Amino acid sequence: MVKAVVGEESRLKLIEDRLSQASVPSQVGLVIGKLSKSLDKGFVFDLIPTPLNDAGEPASSLIESGKDDGNKKKGSKSKPQSDSSALVIDRDWVSEHARQVSRMLLGGMKVIGVYIWVNESSFKNSTITLCQTVKGVCDAVPFMDTDMDERLLIHISYSPRRWTCRNCSLASNITSSSLRPCDFKMGKVLSSLKEFRCTYNFDMRLPVFSENGSSIRKMSEVLRRGLSTHAKELKGAKCLINGRLGIEDEQYAPDGLHEVEFLLPFMHDKSLEVYRQTEVVGVLVFHGSVCSFAYLNPKEPMSQALNEIKEDIIMSLQSRLEILCDEADRDSESIIDEDQEAGRHLSMGKQIPQLDLQLQREFSNLSFPRRVFIPWLAGTYICDYILPSETIEVLKDHCVELMSMEAPEDDSAILGLESEALYVTSASKSFWDIAASQLSSESKPDGLISKKSKKERSPGTSQLAKLGDLSIVAAFFVLIFSVVVGLALFVFRSQ
């Protein structure tokens, strides 16, 4: 149970000023920070207002019977008049915001609750609503590693101007007793954070079984299952911190950036636990790298940093898969309106996560978006994902809309540590080549380099690549044909 919470002074003061100047009756948003189980403490890094919803309305509003807008603003400042006002929150929207924001957070930073800017009496009238909002956020972005059933609810009241923090216990049904006050103070939080960095390379070979062997068919399902197995494996991994073998529960004193390297069992494929001599219809090779950061409070044990970074790696892969699945969903909705013929080619790439691999008889691939890092507060970073088809502008939109921050002006401040996805093999390679070279592809960097130069700028899917080849050939024929026709015409005319 978190008993004391420290808020980042520099940020919260700014937010308070901004809120009081904006003179909105209410504002709901997310609390970004960290709940430390080992320290029984909470740390608040930043508060991010939830943007307007699809209908262009704010996520929270005060409903007052028989009063117009002008009165509302006025009334909000004086207590007696607003007694009857009730807080209405678009909970789904706040949850969705939390989901999107949490994708952008790195290890050791999470959506840890909800803040509300509202007057005292409305707050008191609406505790259940607020608890439900907190619960909604918690369900949308559960903590992967810990079983903490609590989140924060920060209330900034405007008259008197005051910050209060409550601990919202979500273990049981939400009642008025779910909220417990906890000690809240401002201080320096961000500047003392320790930074851990890791590049994690993985190469999963996920066999896809024939119909009677397994019920998992879709590519996204196969990937998701592979990920969850891999998460378990990573959980037990040994690691090196700055080249030294990490000892559990050791306090890690020095400041600065710490390089983490993970050591996994040598050629011991955990996903192979269950079967022997089974029919397969193919193998899904899922490989690449994840660049990861995690931030740690200096008082927390080092083992915590490792947990954070492991969680970040897995979350990053899950987020990317989610993004691809979201894209596919959106695409399949829009495809109905579009011209069938044009839609087909366009959507082939995006529909790949939904492919039924048991029926898929051709090579196909799915490039994951790459992760980029955007400078955030006090030298920390947040991240975003860029699909091969997207540009850096998308990322700026996300920053402004989701994180309520100014887009970085200088593109060079953005760390693009990951390059675009590389093929492990050319599409001409067959299943049997993959089967024979199992787990060895990683170990042949020179092979990859040569591939890289060849493939770096190739389009996302082999389908498109083949199409491209075809069209070149076609264009060539058209050219020859037109020349011949032109010549014929010329000859014909000149006669």
Q: Residues 314 to 333: which contact another protein by CB under 8 A?
A: 317, 320
Phi-psi label, residue 17: left if phi above 0, alpha if psi -120 to 50, beta otherwise: alpha
Residue 291 C-beta: closest distance to another protein, Å: 6
Does residue 417 interact with another protein by CB under 8 A? Answer: yes
In Å, how far are 198, 201, 215, 314 from 36, measured between CA atoms? 22, 28, 39, 20
Residue 468 C-beta: closest distance to another protein, Å: 18
Region of 29-37, 89-97, 185-193, 281-289 interacting with another protein (CB under 8 A)? 281-289
Q: Is there a contact between 230 and 318 (Cβ–Cβ < 8 Å)?
A: no
Q: What is the DSSP string of 115-145?
A: EEE--HHHHHHTHHHHHHHHHHHHHHS--SS
Q: Structure tokens of 377?
A: 């507060």
User: Whole-angstrom Cα distance, residue 277 to residue 307?
Assistant: 36
Does residue 419 interact with another protein by CB under 8 A? Answer: yes
**Pairing, β 244-245 against β 238-241:** antiparallel
**Which of helix, strand or coil describes residue 406?**
coil
CA 53, 59, 62, 63 torsion-angle sign: positive
Does residue 275 interact with another protein by CB under 8 A? Answer: yes
Which of 33, 49, 113, 207 contacts another protein by CB under 8 A?
207
Nearer to another protein (CB atom), residue 128 or residue 240:
240
User: Whole-angstrom Cα distance, residue 294 to residue 466?
Assistant: 41
Does residue 389 interact with another protein by CB under 8 A? Answer: no
Region of 69-77, 108-116, 148-156, 418-426 interacting with another protein (CB under 8 A)? 418-426
**Pairing, β 41-49 against β 27-36:** antiparallel
In Å, how far are 74, 105, 222 from 416, measured between CA atoms? 48, 16, 28
User: Whole-angstrom Cα distance, residue 317 to residue 233?
Assistant: 15
Residue 394 C-beta: closest distance to another protein, Å: 15
Which of 47, 296, 315, 424 contacts another protein by CB under 8 A?
424
Which of 23, 440, 471, 482 contacts another protein by CB under 8 A?
440
338-377 residues near another protein, rule: CB under 8 A: 355, 357, 360-371
Nearer to another protein (CB atom), residue 123 or residue 262:
262
Which of 10, 199, 318, 347 contacts another protein by CB under 8 A?
199
Which of 186, 348, 407, 448 contacts another protein by CB under 8 A?
448
Residue 380 C-beta: closest distance to another protein, Å: 20
Which of 128, 342, 435, 472 contacts another protein by CB under 8 A?
435
User: Whole-angstrom Cα distance, residue 473 to residue 112?
Assistant: 57
Q: Is there a contact between 351 and 331 (Cβ–Cβ < 8 Å)?
A: yes
Residue 275 C-beta: closest distance to another protein, Å: 6
Nearer to another protein (CB atom), residue 259 or residue 326:
259
Strand partners, 43: 6, 34
Q: Is there a contact between 134 and 151 (Cβ–Cβ < 8 Å)?
A: yes
223-252 residues near another protein, rule: CB under 8 A: 223, 237-238, 240, 243-245
How many beta carbons lie within 10 A of that of residue 381, not counting itself? 21
Nearer to another protein (CB atom), residue 105 or residue 424:
424
CA 124, 128, 131, 132 torsion-angle sign: negative
Does residue 480 interact with another protein by CB under 8 A? Answer: no
Which of 59, 94, 118, 281 contacts another protein by CB under 8 A?
281
Does residue 399 interact with another protein by CB under 8 A? Answer: no
Residue 357 C-beta: closest distance to another protein, Å: 6
Which of 71, 78, 438, 471 contacts another protein by CB under 8 A?
438
Does residue 214 interact with another protein by CB under 8 A? Answer: no
Q: What is the DSSP letter of 337?
A: T
282-311 residues near another protein, rule: CB under 8 A: 282-291
Nearer to another protein (CB atom), residue 109 or residue 357:
357
Residue 237 C-beta: closest distance to another protein, Å: 8
- For tokens 């910050």, the residue is 163
In Å, how far are 233, 340, 366, 374 from 100, measured between CA atoms? 27, 31, 22, 15
Residue 73 C-beta: closest distance to another protein, Å: 48
Q: Is there a contact between 174 and 157 (Cβ–Cβ < 8 Å)?
A: no
Which of 35, 44, 179, 219 contacts another protein by CB under 8 A?
219
Number of residues near another protein (by CB under 8 A): 87
